[in-house]
């Protein structure tokens, strides 16, 4: 009887794999020839664990180790992950959990969180004769702390820098950069239902961008236009190099120990946090790079130049002004937290010359907030109010230049083209 069950399961899996491999890829995957990952399996025996991926074709893999926290990182060419949503939550042997996603244009990444120190062995790939699927096996060997530390020290985790999209320098309309938090190998907060923060905030950011673009009064750029990892400092660099007039970072918090906490909060940058809760949140968000298997973002050096210090002070004044506009517009359409405007030392709010805010839309740990965050009608109302706050902000800045630039240019809302 057991043999018959195993035979049926094997046949069903083979059929599913064949169908998945036969399904047409998305247009962009087809053009790039991306591999498709349809399954991920964990197994352990003694001190060794194995993560095996089922792929549509052979890909090259590069592995390295990182400490604090302990993890193994696997870099791949772009892969279309079509895995079960619970795949990465399994724990087996030295593997605590793993996550995966697009790390940069043309590159994907798997981050394996380790339950105990381990090194990665030779990654092998074999083609399964019955259906042509490619099995890529990543072996992990438990080791002592000293061995692990030496292996981590000899690893090179540095990725190639991403290129910021170029924007027009002749368009007089204000440029707004919208930053959807997290992405790719960094899922952000995870709701009890399995919903990822990165997906919720990306959908919201897209809707906000559409609202602003539809008005015709602004230029809009997003720090990521799909589910891809973008380092924290890179998000700041994108806004600064584009000479943005406003930077809006979208997030959603989670406090599993306090599901009753809910509501939106608007943050502006400061060296000193408003309260302990804000400081802890900033610390968590500033570790996003490490969570994605990248080097942790380094804080912007302390500003010594008096002109730069004045520029930063002026910019934070504009940031607070926009935060107040935003609170006024959002309060009637959504629930706000007990302290709706707070300050903290977020890396993405460290730009000295771009007014910046970080908006926590609500808490994924709150059932009430989560339902609203996923409701199209709620999102439409909130993005509409945010667009009004943007309009109000620029209406009051009709003849000001970039903070600290020494020049003044019109930042008035440009007329809508016929």
| Domain span including residue 61 | 29-153
Residues 125 and 181 in one domain: no
Q: Which of 113, 111, 103 is nearest to 69 (CA)?
A: 113
Averaged pLDDT of the chain: 83
**β-pairing verdict for 134-142 and 219-222:** unpaired
Angle of helix 376-395 relative to helix 306-330, nearest 10 degrees, comes to 130
Clarify whether residues 38 and 87 are in a common domain.
Answer: yes
Give the domain CATH number at 235: 3.40.630.40
Does 141 reside within a domain? yes
Structure tokens at 151: 């292996």
CA distance 308 to 323: 22
Does 346 fall in a domain?
Answer: yes
Q: Which helix (H) or strand (E) holds 49?
A: strand 48-55
The 10s digit of each residue's pLDDT in 227-256 is 999 999 999 999 999 999 999 999 999 987
Strand partners, 341: 266
Asked if 282 and 273 count as a contact pair (C-beta separation under 8 A), the reply is: yes
Q: Is residue 379 part of a domain?
A: yes
pLDDT, greater one: 22 or 317: 317
Task: Note the pLDDT of residue 154.
Answer: 82
Residue 187 · residue 109 · CB < 8 Å: no
349-360 mean pLDDT: 95
Burial class (CB within 10 angstroms; exposed 0-12, middle 13-18, buried 19+) of 29: middle
pLDDT band at 104 (very low <50, low <70, confident <90, very high): confident
Q: Are 222 and 358 in the same domain?
A: yes
- Run of H or E residues at 67: none
Grouping H, G, I as helix, E, B as strand and the rest as coil, residue 105 is coil
The CATH code of the domain that includes 133 is 2.60.40.3500
Local structure of residue 255 (DSSP, 8 states) = -
C-beta of residue 40 within 8 angstroms of C-beta of residue 83: yes
124 and 220 fall within a common domain: no
* CB contact at 8 A, 105 and 183: no
- Would you state the structure tokens that stand for residue 31, as one six-digit string? 């053009």
How many distinct structural domains can be found in the chain?
A: 2
State which H helix or E strand residue 174 sits in: none
Q: How far apart are CA 161 and CA 230, in angstroms?
A: 10
Strand partners, 74: 63, 110
- Do 147 and 190 fall into the same domain? no
pLDDT-based confidence at 89, cuts 50/70/90?
confident
């Amino acid at each position: 009887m057991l043999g018959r069950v195993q035979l049926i399961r094997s046949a069903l899996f083979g059929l599913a794999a064949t169908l998945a491999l036969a399904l047409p890829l998305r247009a962009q995957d087809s053009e790039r020839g991306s591999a498709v990952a349809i399954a991920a399996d964990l197994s352990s025996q003694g001190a060794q664990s194995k993560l095996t991926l089922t792929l549509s074709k052979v890909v090259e893999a590069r592995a390295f180790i990182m400490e604090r926290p302990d993890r193994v990182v696997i870099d791949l060419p772009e892969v279309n992950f079509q895995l079960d949503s619970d795949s990465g939550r399994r724990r087996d042997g030295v593997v605590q959990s793993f996550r995966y996603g697009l790390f940069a244009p043309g590159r994907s990444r798997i981050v394996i969180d380790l339950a105990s120190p381990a090194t990665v062995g030779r990654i092998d790939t074999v083609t399964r004769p019955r259906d042509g699927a490619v099995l890529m096996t990543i072996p992990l060997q438990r080791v002592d702390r000293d061995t692990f530390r030496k292996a981590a020290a000899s690893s090179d985790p540095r990725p190639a820098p991403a290129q910021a999209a170029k924007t027009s320098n002749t368009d007089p309309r204000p440029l707004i950069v919208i930053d959807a938090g997290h992405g790719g190998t960094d899922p952000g907060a995870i709701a009890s239902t399995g919903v990822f923060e990165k997906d919720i905030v990306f959908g919201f950011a897209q809707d906000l961008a559409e609202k602003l673009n539809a008005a015709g009064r602004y230029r809009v750029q997003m720090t990521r236009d799909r589910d891809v990892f973008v380092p924290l400092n890179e998000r700041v660099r994108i806004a600064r190099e584009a000479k943005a007039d406003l930077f809006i970072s979208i997030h959603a918090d989670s406090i599993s120990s306090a599901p009753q906490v809910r509501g939106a909060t608007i943050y502006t940058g400061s060296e000193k946090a408003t309260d302990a809760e804000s400081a802890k949140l900033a610390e968590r968000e500033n570790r996003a790079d490490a969570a994605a298997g990248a080097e942790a973002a380094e804080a912007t050096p302390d500003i010594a130049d008096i002109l730069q210090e004045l520029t930063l002070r002026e910019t934070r004044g504009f940031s607070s002004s926009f935060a107040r506009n935003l609170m006024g517009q959002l309060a009637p359409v959504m629930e706000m937290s007990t302290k709706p405007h707070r300050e903290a030392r977020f890396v993405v709010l460290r730009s000295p010359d771009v007014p910046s805010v970080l908006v926590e839309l609500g808490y994924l740990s709150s059932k009430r907030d989560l339902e609203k965050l996923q409701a199209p009608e709620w999102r439409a109302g909130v993005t509409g109010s945010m667009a009004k706050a943007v309009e109000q902000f620029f209406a009051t800045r009709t003849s000001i230049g970039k903070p600290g630039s020494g020049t003044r240019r019109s930042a008035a809302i440009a007329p809508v083209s016929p």
